[in-house]
C-alpha cells in the first residue's frame, strides 16, 4: 500500500426526520412519501488517503460488518468505475452514529465518500451527477450530497431546501437495529396518509405541531418493545418522535441546557446524546478548505 496524500478527515453528519408521511406504495416496491430532513452536527468520522495502487481499502470499528457490503466501499468503487480513476484509496471509519437507528449514517457515509473522493481523485463530477450515482445505492444519499436540510418527496430523493430554526435534539437509541426494508415491507404499515401541501410549507417556512408525526412509529413500537419503552420514558419530559424507521427516538428543545438536563436522566441501558440542528453539512465546508495541490 503506497500512499499519495496526507489523510483528510471529514465528519459525515446524521439526520432526523421531523415528520414522515407515507402516501402509498409504488409499482417498483418503493413508497411515495413526504418528509422533512434535519441535518445534525453529530456524525461519523471518516479519513481518506489516496493510494497509488488500484485498491479500495477500508478499516473501521464495527463488528460483524463485511467491507464488501459497506456503502463506503460500494460508493468508492462506483465513483472509481464511473470516472475511470486509476488510483485507489485507504479509508478509515470511526463509527459514532448508532447502526439501524434511522439517523442516516450509512447514507451519509456513502455521500461523504463520493464527495471527498470526487475532490481527492480530481473527478470533478457535478453535484447532480454525484446525486445520480448516490441514488443508485440509496434513496437518502442525495440529501447528504446536497448537504442541506430539506423537504423530501418521491422516495425521499426530490429535495427542496428548507432552513429550519435552530433547535437542539436529545436523541435516545435502545440496543435494537431496525432495517428500513423490514418496516416498509410490513403489511400493517400505514400507507395512505393524506398529502401535506408542501408548497405552503416551502413558502411559509413554518411547521405546525400537528405535522410532527411519523407513520412508521406505531408499527415500530409494536414490533420492538424497547423502542416503545424509550417513547414512554421520554413522554415524561417532552414530546418524542421516531426518526426514519427507527430505532432512535428524539425530542426537540429551544436551548442546549434543556436537552442536556434530560440527557443526564437517561437510563444507562440506552445510548443517548444531544445534537444541534444544522442547515448545512460540514462536509462541503471541510472540503472547500482543502488545498489539493499543496
Residue 140 annotated in active site: yes
Exactly one of 44, 95, 140, 167 is catalytic; which is it?
140
Q: Tell me if residue 235 is catalytic.
A: no
Contact 246, 183 (CB under 8 A): yes
69-72's contacts with Cβ under 8 Å and 24+ in sequence apart are 70/109, 71/106, 71/107, 71/109, 71/110, 71/113, 71/137, 71/138, 72/46, 72/109, 72/110, 72/113
Picking from 244, 33, 15, 1, the residue whose alpha carbon sits closest to that of residue 109 is: 15
Report how far residue 130's alpha carbon sits from residue 132's, in angstroms, rounded to the nearest whole number.
5
Catalytic residue among 15, 80, 95, 167, which?
15
- Residues annotated as catalytic (active site), given as ranges: 15, 140
Amino acid at each position: 500500500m503506497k500512499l499519495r496524500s496526507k489523510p483528510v478527515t471529514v465528519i459525515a453528519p446524521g439526520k432526523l426526520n421531523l415528520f414522515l408521511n407515507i402516501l402509498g406504495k409504488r409499482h417498483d416496491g418503493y413508497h411515495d412519501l413526504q418528509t422533512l430532513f434535519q441535518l445534525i452536527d453529530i456524525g461519523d468520522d471518516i479519513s481518506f488517503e489516496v493510494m497509488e495502487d488500484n485498491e479500495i481499502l477500508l478499516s473501521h470499528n464495527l463488528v460483524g460488518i463485511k467491507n464488501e457490503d459497506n456503502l463506503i466501499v460500494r460508493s468508492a468503487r462506483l465513483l472509481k468505475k464511473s470516472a475511470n480513476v486509476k488510483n485507489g484509496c485507504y479509508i478509515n471509519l470511526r463509527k459514532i452514529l448508532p447502526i439501524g437507528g434511522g439517523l442516516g449514517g450509512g447514507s451519509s457515509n456513502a455521500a461523504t465518500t463520493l464527495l471527498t473522493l470526487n475532490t481527492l481523485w480530481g473527478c470533478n463530477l457535478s453535484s447532480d451527477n454525484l446525486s445520480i450515482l448516490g441514488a443508485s445505492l440509496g434513496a437518502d444519499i442525495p440529501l447528504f450530497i446536497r448537504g442541506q436540510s430539506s423537504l423530501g418527496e418521491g422516495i425521499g430523493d426530490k429535495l427542496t431546501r428548507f432552513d429550519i430554526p435552530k433547535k437542539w435534539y436529545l436523541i435516545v437509541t435502545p440496543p435494537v437495529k431496525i432495517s428500513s426494508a423490514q418496516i416498509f415491507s410490513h403489511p400493517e404499515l400505514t400507507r395512505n396518509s393524506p398529502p401535506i401541501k408542501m408548497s405552503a410549507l416551502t413558502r411559509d417556512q413554518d411547521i405546525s405541531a400537528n405535522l410532527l408525526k411519523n407513520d412508521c412509529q406505531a408499527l415500530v413500537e409494536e414490533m420492538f418493545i424497547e423502542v416503545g419503552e424509550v417513547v414512554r420514558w421520554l413522554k415524561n419530559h417532552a414530546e418524542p418522535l421516531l426518526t426514519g424507521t427507527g430505532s432512535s427516538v428524539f425530542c426537540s428543545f429551544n436551548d442546549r441546557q434543556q436537552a442536556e438536563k434530560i440527557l443526564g436522566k437517561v437510563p444507562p441501558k440506552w445510548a443517548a446524546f444531544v445534537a444541534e440542528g444544522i442547515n448545512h453539512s460540514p462536509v462541503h465546508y471541510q472540503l472547500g478548505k482543502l488545498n489539493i495541490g499543496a
